[in-house]
Structure 1
Amino acid sequence: MKVLIITYYWPPAGGSGVQRWLKFVKYLQDFGVEPIVYTVDNPNYALTDESLQKEVPDNIQVIKQPIFEPNTIFSFFKKKNKKTSAGFLAQKPGVINKIMHYVRANYFIPDARKFWIKPSVNYLSTYLKKNPVSAIITTGPPHSLHIIGYQLRKQLNLKWLADFRDPWTDIDYFHHLPLSKKAKEKHFKLEKTVLETADITLVVGETMKRNYQKYTDNIHVITNGFDTKMSTDESTTLDTKFTLTHIGLMNADRNPTILWKVLDQLCKEIKGFSDDLEVVLVGSIAEEVNNELNGYNNISVDRVGYLPHKEVQFYQRKSQVLLLSVNNVPSAKGIITGKIFEYLQAKRPILAIGPTDGDLAAILNKTQSGVIVNFDDIDNLKVNIQKLYEQYKNNTLTTQSVNISSYHRKKLTEQLANIIKQTVKS
């Protein structure tokens, strides 16, 4: 059984967007599904990681077609080090930036990859007639890829699975966009069309599933996960300092302001805490976060920057505590950052800040791998950090996590393969 996977993010793309379908492709053949990958030939990736090329099976066919990206034009106006996952949301105030922001929000719908839709449909409609597959799969964001799937579904009457790694109109930064009423209506209409037309919708969490059930009943949750055995045979020496390590983009919405306040208080209240403490930030840091941290002289911060995936795993394993901060936005309950699953694999205590009744909290509770504190619960956060610090001082800072095997990428791919087979048969 062959399936065509249409994805924008593919090695050498770095960051979280590439991981999900790279891992599915890695294991799908083990379950009787042969993937063919369709991706971009000249991508404008904000992050690259050449090491991920090695994870693509040698016998996988990867088809590439060029794309015109207006991002390359807009990037002329911004500094290279200002790139973030939300792209233009990182722009500084100013007339030109505001104009670019407005134009991109209102004229590139669903996103700036819209110019890949027509040439991709033209190319793939011919390709698929000569090279038939049992189903097509699109993954977004960028959600322009779902429009490719929609048009191919209508033209060729193929089974279509639409995978949402992140929500569309519920994504964390949607409420920040300077959208006109007409533009908002177009987003909602396109989202509804995709959900109602796709034979199957795949999502990464229960909250997204509940939100989308008003459009479709054919919806399945397949979370993200972790890969490999993670080196039980590799000896890792823990940091000597009381390290709180955050992996990934730390943008303004994700800035854990109460954490910095609590750490500053503990530095002043507990003898030796300031000397022991080190906050480690691996990945891009928004200017707002840097500015706030610079105001706390007692907090030692190691700004590591972006690292290849394998080096990130090393930081995860050696950290005393793994920090996870959910974006403080209206859709926070449904946010499950991909890093949580690799945190589980690292088997270090997790300290999360976010909704205690959200999808992330459910995973932490199921696996008993850490604690989560609400965005404004400063007292509870302080108590939990004190407990972790005491365990660190007593050399008892460990985690006894359970039920994590269900999040292995191969196990998740088995679920996907079963859904694909059921969809094709129906």
Structure 2
Amino acid sequence: MVKRVLMIAYHYPPMSGGSGIHRTLAFTRYLPQHGWQPLVLTVHPRAYEDIGAEDDPPHVPVHRSFALDSSRHLALRGRYLELLAQPDRWISWWLGAVPAGLRLIRKYRPDAIWSSYPIATAHLIALSLHRLSGIPWIADQRDPMVDTGYPPDPRRRRIHGWIEQQAMRQAAAVVCATPGALQRLGQRHGCANAQRLVLIENGYDESSFIDAETAPAPATSPNGPFTLLHSGVIYPSERDPGPLFAALAKLRNEGRLAPSDFRLRLRASAHDDHLRALMQRHPGAADLVELAPPLPHREALAEMLGADGLLLLQAANCNDQIPAKLYEYLRADRPLLALADAAGDTAAALRHAGIHTIGQLDNASDIAAQLMRFLQLCRTKQAPRAAPSLILSHSRAARTRQLAALLDRASAQEPT
């Protein structure tokens, strides 16, 4: 018997960019294989700043309800009331989504409700629909809603804390994407509530990689420099490349690296101006760094598959998080250099995969040493790779199997 789940997600096509899209999209794609039919409740496309070309998955009913972005639609001379952006800039979505969700519940009679953070309004919508219908709710928290100094605005931090508390009390399960986030949430809410916590990590979509294998990758020369690729956003704080640029400048000035034999390509950083300013502080680094524009996801994966090496960045202030691209990097099966805190979840996941080419993101001397070691391992074809069986365990299809089992358990509970 096919069951239905109402999935409330801000990140959904035609929005462009964001790992949240790929997580939700994969769940909607693979859940039918496990006896669950998704119904998606998302925002009207006007709420998105960037629109992409990717279509909705076939055979998935998608309802787009009223939603505005306060910073663009409710601002006067670039300013808007703070109240119109609590818990986030899309709080107006709640006004349209709750009535729309009730109509969908009456029409389709779903067996479960699922909502996805980091747009906190999605959890508010799910909480409201759960209270009004009694249908079991699963909160896909992914990363922490509240942390030390996050959100920076005290009022928003209090509201986020209240939403998190409601999820821990009323949701059938709260899902985190990393062990650290799971542990932190359990510590905040006590052992009794911690029984609701479930780990479902991010992953890669095998169908996207199969498609990418036929896509054209950026042209490279077989006799060109070794290209180390970082694909995706470089947050100034959470993935600060300043020490990396200092290390590159040192190696360049010492003659140990040259543009003819090494190239760091930063693809779709979203902060190119900031990176240019950083490079100006480290003369010599700019000779070795290429800032490259965004690519469609299919072509970005094709570039990963053809890169000489892949670079991962994650600062210590994100020790409870793992970049979603880590799983795509593992699937690309290219040599991988990570600059991350040794005590964090990112480094732990890499060590579990057998990847030991890890340096400290905040230490230029260590970066220089680890980069030269990494290049030597690549030249001698000794760079570590993850085992195929472990890579397969990180597929989105495997993650969806976990979610389907969780939905089965939640829907079997007595209605509240």
Cα deviation, residue 75, structure 1: 8.0
1:347: which partner in 2?
Answer: 333
1:85: which partner in 2?
Answer: none
Deviations 1:137-185 (A, max 9, x none): 01011011101111111111001000013321239x835x3x24x5433
Instruction: List 4+ stretches of structure 1 deviating above 4 A.
Output: 74-77, 231-239
2:136: which partner in 1?
Answer: 159
Work out whether residues 140 and 163 of structure 1, in 8 Å CA contact, stay in contact via their aligned partners in 2.
yes
Q: Secondary structure at the match of 1:334?
A: coil
Work out whether residues 238 and 320 of structure 1, in 8 Å CA contact, stay in contact via their aligned partners in 2.
no
Whole-angstrom CA distance in 2 between matches of 1:295 and 1:322? 25
1:28: which partner in 2?
Answer: 31
Work out whether residues 47 and 67 of structure 2, in 8 Å CA contact, stay in contact via their aligned partners in 1.
no
1:59: which partner in 2?
Answer: 59
2:394: which partner in 1?
Answer: 407
Work out whether residues 225 and 261 of structure 2, in 8 Å CA contact, stay in contact via their aligned partners in 1.
yes
Whole-angstrom CA distance in 1 between matches of 2:6 and 2:284? 53
Given the superposition, is the C-alpha separation of residues 134 and 244 from structure 1 closer, same or farther in structure 2, using an over 3 Å criterion? same
Given the superposition, is the C-alpha separation of residues 411 and 183 from structure 1 closer, same or farther in structure 2, using an over 3 Å criterion? closer
1:420 lines up with 2:407 in the alignment: yes
2:263: which partner in 1?
Answer: 278
Q: 246, 253, 260: which one pairs with 2:230?
A: 246
2:160: which partner in 1?
Answer: 187
1:389 lines up with 2:362 in the alignment: no
Work out whether residues 327 and 354 of structure 1, in 8 Å CA contact, stay in contact via their aligned partners in 2.
yes
Given the superposition, is the C-alpha separation of residues 146 and 5 from structure 1 closer, same or farther in structure 2, using an over 3 Å criterion? same
Cα deviation, residue 200, structure 1: 0.8
Deviations 1:61-116 (A, max 9, x none): 11111212212247886xxxxxxxxxxxxxxxxxx7xx76xx54x65221111111
Cα deviation, residue 289, structure 1: 2.1
Cα deviation, residue 128, structure 1: 0.8
Deviates more, 1:61-70 or 1:272-281: 272-281
Q: Please report the TM-score for the alignment, with normalisation by the length of structure 2.
A: 0.87
Q: Secondary structure at the match of 2:109?
A: coil
Q: 281, 287, 311: which one pairs with 2:299?
A: 311
1:336 lines up with 2:322 in the alignment: yes
Q: Secondary structure at the match of 2:45?
A: coil
Cα deviation, residue 357, structure 1: 1.5
Aligned pairs for 1:2-401 (under 5 A) are: 2-15=4-17, 16-50=19-53, 52-53=54-55, 56-73=56-73, 103-104=81-82, 108-170=85-147, 174=150, 177=152, 179-180=153-154, 182-213=155-186, 214-215=188-189, 216=193, 217-228=195-206, 230-231=209-210, 240-253=224-237, 254-271=239-256, 273-283=258-268, 284-299=270-285, 300-329=288-317, 332-392=318-378, 394=379, 396=381, 398-401=383-386
Whole-angstrom CA distance in 2 between matches of 1:196 and 1:64? 28
Work out whether residues 14 and 45 of structure 2, in 8 Å CA contact, stay in contact via their aligned partners in 1.
no
Q: Secondary structure at the match of 1:10?
A: coil
Q: Secondary structure at the match of 2:357?
A: strand
Q: Secondary structure at the match of 2:263?
A: strand
Work out whether residues 244 and 361 of structure 2, in 8 Å CA contact, stay in contact via their aligned partners in 1.
no
Whole-angstrom CA distance in 1 between matches of 2:257 and 2:236? 30
Deviations 1:241-286 (A, max 9, x none): 1222111111211222111111111112245534312111111125
Whole-angstrom CA distance in 2 between matches of 1:183 and 1:338? 25
Cα deviation, residue 370, structure 1: 4.9
Which amino acid is 1:187 matched to?
Answer: H
Cα deviation, residue 373, structure 1: 2.2
Work out whether residues 7 and 113 of structure 2, in 8 Å CA contact, stay in contact via their aligned partners in 1.
yes
Cα deviation, residue 223, structure 1: 0.7
Cα deviation, residue 356, structure 1: 0.9
Which amino acid is 2:247 matched to?
Answer: V
Whole-angstrom CA distance in 1 between matches of 2:88 and 2:331? 34
Deviates more, 1:274-283 or 1:5-14: 274-283
Given the superposition, is the C-alpha separation of residues 45 and 422 from structure 1 closer, same or farther in structure 2, using an over 3 Å criterion? same
Cα deviation, residue 398, structure 1: 4.4
Given the superposition, is the C-alpha separation of residues 122 and 145 from structure 1 closer, same or farther in structure 2, using an over 3 Å criterion? same
Whole-angstrom CA distance in 2 between matches of 1:334 and 1:132? 37
Unpaired stretches in structure 2, ≥5 consecutive residues = none
Work out whether residues 258 and 376 of structure 1, in 8 Å CA contact, stay in contact via their aligned partners in 2.
yes
Work out whether residues 5 and 112 of structure 2, in 8 Å CA contact, stay in contact via their aligned partners in 1.
yes
Which amino acid is 2:392 matched to?
Answer: S
Aligned-residue identity in percent:
24
Given the superposition, is the C-alpha separation of residues 130 and 191 from structure 1 closer, same or farther in structure 2, using an over 3 Å criterion? same
Q: Secondary structure at the match of 2:20?
A: coil
Superposed CA RMSD: 2.5
Q: Secondary structure at the match of 1:60?
A: coil
Whole-angstrom CA distance in 2 between matches of 1:13 and 1:291? 30
